Amino acid sequence: MFDNLPASAIRSRRTEFVSTNSLFIRRQTIGSLFPTGFSWFRRHAAKRGTTLNVAGEALQNASPRRREIEMHFIDSKMTQARRTLLCRWAAAAFVAIGLSAASANAQISPDHYQLRADMPPGTIGQNRLARGGPVFGYYQPVRLESSTGISIAPAIDGQFAEPQPAPLLVGLLIGEVYRFRVTRIPLHDGAEIYPTIEVIDRLYPPEGMANRFPIPIEITKEELVLALEGKLVTRVIYVENPQNALPRAEGPHQRYFEARASVDPLEVADQLGRPIAILRIGSRHPEAAGPGHAFLFGSPPFLPLTEWAREDEFDAIPPASE
């Protein structure tokens, strides 16, 4: 554009029209990012009988006032176009983000469970101990009960104790796995089942009333039959959420429901309340030489407890202050 001009004129033009060159540079930079947003500039230049390449030369021959008006007009048009394009792009981006979020929520569960009920016994309980709190060294009362007339024997020092008719009230450490022997199964003379109980959390009863509020674990006839058939039954005992619990009195038997085979019972229990224990009943038996250390999970210590009596309830009531 400046090939036929003297050097002094070129210098003066470069000095006088710095703002114009800056505008063209800005237009070219933004135009490369928004190539469809400057059709208005081409139409405006065509109406004035010039092109983008000679727009600067046309402005330089105009009066200062005319140049100022033209520059203001072009700059306002560019600002308006940029705002329009940015608004359209922002709206499109929000729509894309909304669709992506909706798709992600449809495919991903809101909660990610790192623990499963099919993990090796003791994993979930040890994870609870690692989280801290008043659980380490606490003997949680557990009441094993059944209406089938079975007998239950806990493991002591590598051997099973004498069987006792159900119910059996014992204090179990949180995080440990306890093996029991179940005998006198109805209609299955001589058969034995060796379930395990893993306490993964504790209850918080009133002071001095822990034995009155144990964790109830009922061993049903259906579960025993399934175990004798070689199947594994996993039951997760949980404390109901008081906001969702049914407002009705409990019957003589512990309520339970079946979960699908494809569903983790620990996850279901966590959604319904607070899991506190896991009962596993299978067909595994000890070796002929006797139960080994691994079979009994090291025979962790437990506390034999006595049933809560009616008179104990009145003894636990503090005297009225005078």
**255-303 per-position pLDDT tens digit:** 777 888 888 989 988 888 999 999 999 999 999 888 999 999 999 999 9
Cβ atoms of 118 and 259 within 8 Å: the answer is no
Is 115 contained in some domain?
no
Is 114 contained in some domain?
no
- pLDDT band for position 235 (cuts 50, 70, 90): very high
Cβ atoms of 233 and 227 within 8 Å: the answer is yes
Find the mean pLDDT for residues 169-182.
96
Residue entry with tokens 């001589």: 190
Q: Hey, what are 322's tokens?
A: 């005078």
136 and 88 inside one domain: no
Question: Looking at 107, 142, 164, which one is the last position of a domain?
Answer: 107
**Over 60: is that where the pLDDT of 95 sits?**
no
- Rounded CA separation 125/138 (Å): 13
100 and 239 inside one domain: no
Find the mean pLDDT for residues 17-28.
33
Q: Spell out the residues 6+ positions from residue 101 whose beta carbon is closer than 8 angstroms to its own.
A: none
33 and 165 inside one domain: no
Is 292 contained in some domain?
yes
**Over 80: is that where the pLDDT of 209 sits?**
yes
271 and 138 inside one domain: yes
Q: Is 60 helix (H, G, I), strand (E, B) or coil?
A: helix
Q: Hey, what are 242's tokens?
A: 């008081």
Question: What pLDDT, in 10s, does the model give residues 101-110?
Answer: 444 444 444 5
284 and 223 inside one domain: yes
C-alpha distances (whole Å) from 56 to each of 12, 62, 211 are 14, 10, 94
Find the mean pLDDT for residues 231-255.
83
Helices 64-107 and 18-33: crossing angle in degrees, nearest 10, is 20
Domain region containing 47: 7-107
Question: Looking at 49, 79, 107, which one is the last position of a domain?
Answer: 107
**Over 90: is that where the pLDDT of 39 sits?**
no
Question: What pLDDT, in 10s, does the model give residues 6-15?
Answer: 443 333 333 3
**Over 80: is that where the pLDDT of 214 sits?**
yes
Which comes out higher in pLDDT, residue 316 or 118? 118
303 and 186 inside one domain: yes
* Cα four-point dihedral sign 56, 58, 62, 65: negative
Is 265 contained in some domain?
yes
* Cα four-point dihedral sign 115, 120, 125, 130: negative
Is 26 contained in some domain?
yes
Total domain count, the chain: 2
- Rounded CA separation 62/74 (Å): 15
Which comes out higher in pLDDT, residue 312 or 62? 62
- pLDDT band for position 202 (cuts 50, 70, 90): very high
Is 320 contained in some domain?
no
188 and 225 inside one domain: yes
**% of the chain residues with pLDDT over 90:** 43
**Over 70: is that where the pLDDT of 305 sits?**
yes
Q: Spell out the residues 6+ positions from residue 177 whose beta carbon is closer than 8 angstroms to its own.
A: 121, 122, 125, 196, 197, 198, 297, 300
Tally: H helices and E strands in the chain: 9, 11
- pLDDT band for position 234 (cuts 50, 70, 90): very high
- Rounded CA separation 7/31 (Å): 31
Nearest to 82 by CA among 43, 42, 29: 29
- Rounded CA separation 235/108 (Å): 26
82 and 172 inside one domain: no
- pLDDT band for position 111 (cuts 50, 70, 90): low
**Over 80: is that where the pLDDT of 162 sits?**
yes
- Rounded CA separation 204/207 (Å): 9
Is 321 contained in some domain?
no
Q: Hey, what are 234's tokens?
A: 């996993």
Cβ atoms of 160 and 128 within 8 Å: the answer is no
Is 116 contained in some domain?
no
Is 74 buried (19+), middle (13-18) or exposed (0-12) by CB count in 10 A? buried
70 and 159 inside one domain: no
281 and 184 inside one domain: yes
Which comes out higher in pLDDT, residue 307 or 173? 173
- Rounded CA separation 194/152 (Å): 9
- Rounded CA separation 234/138 (Å): 24
**Over 60: is that where the pLDDT of 96 sits?**
no
36 and 130 inside one domain: no
